[in-house]
Amino acid sequence: MQLDELVTSNNIENEAWQALENSILYYQGRPIGTVAAYDASVEALNYDQCFVRDFVSSALIFLIKGRKDIVRNFLEETLKLQPKEKALDAYKPGRGLIPASFKVVSSNGQEYLEADFGEHAIARVTPVDSCLWWIILLRAYVIATEDFSLAYQPEFQNGIRLIMDICLANRFDMYPTLLVPDGACMIDRRMGIYGHPLEIQVLFYAALRAAREMLICQGNQDIVAAIDNRLPLLCAHIRQHYWIDINRLNAIYRFKSEEYGKGAVNLFNIYVDSLPYYELDKWLPKKGGYFAGNVGPSQLDSRFFALGNLMAIISDLATEEQSQAIMTLIEERWEDLVGDMPMKICFPALENEEYRIVTGCDPKNIPWSYHNAGNWPVLMWMLAAAGVKTKKIGLVHKAIELAQERLSEDEWPEYYDGKKGRLIGKQARKYQTWTIAGFLLAKELTKNPSYLPLVSFDELPPEVVSRACEFEIGSVDSYMSR
Ligand code: GLC
């Protein structure tokens, strides 16, 4: 890098640090989180609140920089917001949930926290991802501080247990994945991701692994046994049934349907005509592949979702081969998936009739905008972490360089629109905290790959994965050999 480039890059980083500092939220004199956006030019709505999923990006960079107090305060205070009693009242949040967001409210000179479990949010969406991110962040804290004592405190053990309870509870279906409503994660609007969306499944997997590391067995044997049972099944299910590459597409293309009983190969009765297979045939590079957005009865959503795919690499849910294939896809389809701003939240956009039916004519989610294939700079840290893990550092540098000047010039927008991500998002806020933190985190992770273990996991032992095959019928190998 030239000297003047280095100076510019350092200036941008300093500016980002200052902006992150401005976003810190204080409660009773202590820092406890960051607001979603610090933009005085537009009505705040709920962007002046601390969102759990958004704070994870800030928290990781704070941990890296030794600012552990803010993360600890956040974990302690959000844990207090978790409902601990069984609620049979339909309008009360379920036991174990962690809110989507919270704000500091003052009354009679006293400050208290007000949580939103979706009861105030636009469209009243359920934040399923919050409790999963919360566990993942607690583990990151433990690793960064090398101090298990916080997680071992009885309140924290109980908090983890309650989250596991709600995830592993009795339910209607028998998939290893979690069945959730639409908009239950980063994409918190109707986007046709109800059912078993990849993002939730990957976060679920990472949370199960994190919980397994932190739960003390004494008194938690039942939960630990349930985690040990679920992990390999979930892992094998995603690796097998969500995977799309050219070989798999070939297999699906020749799928038989209406198979009944044990010998079924097309387990979910996917009808080939529901897939845009001619487009996929053109689009899929020879060696690339990715996990589908959703799998359910006669449903295989072939859209590419960035968060789920990148976190699958980071959390080791993807095999080494699959991880390399996802990165190859990103490299080979850079113009589509990254364009001028890392990176697309999903690809391709829902258009025309499909857009109208699936989003409910949402004007914020018109094709190539916002959640409907907009570009979200926060995803850059996950791209960086996945790049570090798969040793694709060149690709990460390219992404950071693309982003850095524009982000600062455009005042750190929430998202970008357009096929190439060149338009500042139509309703994007400026000084969006996770844009700022995502950028800083991407830089730190590339400068110092030793921070990766804060979010990454090692491989599940092979004997645990192969156990899953006892339960699974119609594995990839079995239909490929037919
Ligand atoms: C939007 C995003 C959501 C985020 C929130 C606050 O609703 O879709 O993922 O948490 O803004 O930034």
Q: Which two tokens stand for residue 251?
A: 């297999």
Asked whether 193 lines ligand 1 (CB < 6 A), one says no
- Note the pLDDT of residue 473: 39
Q: Identify the burial level of 314 via C-beta atoms within 10 angstroms of its C-beta, where 0-12 means exposed, 13-18 middle and 19 or more buried.
A: buried
**For residue 414, which atom of ligand 1 is closest to its CA?**
12
Asked whether 51 lines ligand 1 (CB < 6 A), one says yes
Nearest to 408 by CA among 3, 16, 6: 16
- Note the pLDDT of residue 301: 98
**For residue 37, which atom of ligand 1 is closest to its CA?**
12
Q: Tens digits of per-residue pLDDT, 248-282?
A: 999 999 999 999 998 999 999 999 999 999 999 99
Asked whether 429 lines ligand 1 (CB < 6 A), one says no
Asked whether 139 lines ligand 1 (CB < 6 A), one says no
Average pLDDT, the chain: 93
**For residue 370, which atom of ligand 1 is closest to its CA?**
8
Asked whether 186 lines ligand 1 (CB < 6 A), one says yes
Asked whether 121 lines ligand 1 (CB < 6 A), one says no
pLDDT at 480 over 90: no
3-state SS assignment for residue 295? strand
Q: Tens digits of per-residue pLDDT, 196-255?
A: 999 999 999 999 999 999 999 888 999 999 999 999 999 999 999 999 999 999 999 999
Taking the C-alpha atoms of residue 400 and residue 387, their distance in angstroms, rounded to an integer, is 12
- Letter for the amino acid at 383? L
- Note the pLDDT of residue 481: 33
Nearest to 163 by CA among 113, 227, 102, 216: 227
3-state SS assignment for residue 282? helix
| pLDDT-based confidence at residue 315 (cuts at 50, 70, 90) | very high
Cα–Cα distance list, 16 to 89, 412, 414 (Å)? 44, 9, 14
Q: Are 356 and 367 in contact (CB under 8 A)?
A: no
Q: Tens digits of per-residue pLDDT, 110-138?
A: 999 999 999 898 889 999 999 999 999 99
- pTM, whole model, 2 decimals? 0.95
Q: Are 159 and 82 in contact (CB under 8 A)?
A: yes
Asked whether 53 lines ligand 1 (CB < 6 A), one says yes
Residue 440 CA to ligand 1 center (angstroms) comes to 19
Q: Which two tokens stand for residue 43?
A: 């009505």
- Note the pLDDT of residue 46: 87
Best of 50, 188, 429 for a ligand 1 pocket test (most atoms within 8 Å of beta carbon)? 188
- Note the pLDDT of residue 477: 39
**For residue 54, which atom of ligand 1 is closest to its CA?**
10
Taking the C-alpha atoms of residue 242 and residue 270, their distance in angstroms, rounded to an integer, is 12
Pairing of strands 346-347, 416-417: unpaired
Q: Which residue has the tokens 């979690």?
A: 178
- Give the least confident one: 18-27, 77-86, 312-321, 458-467: 458-467
Q: Tens digits of per-residue pLDDT, 443-476?
A: 999 999 999 999 999 988 776 666 655 544 344 3
Residue 54 CA to ligand 1 center (angstroms) comes to 7
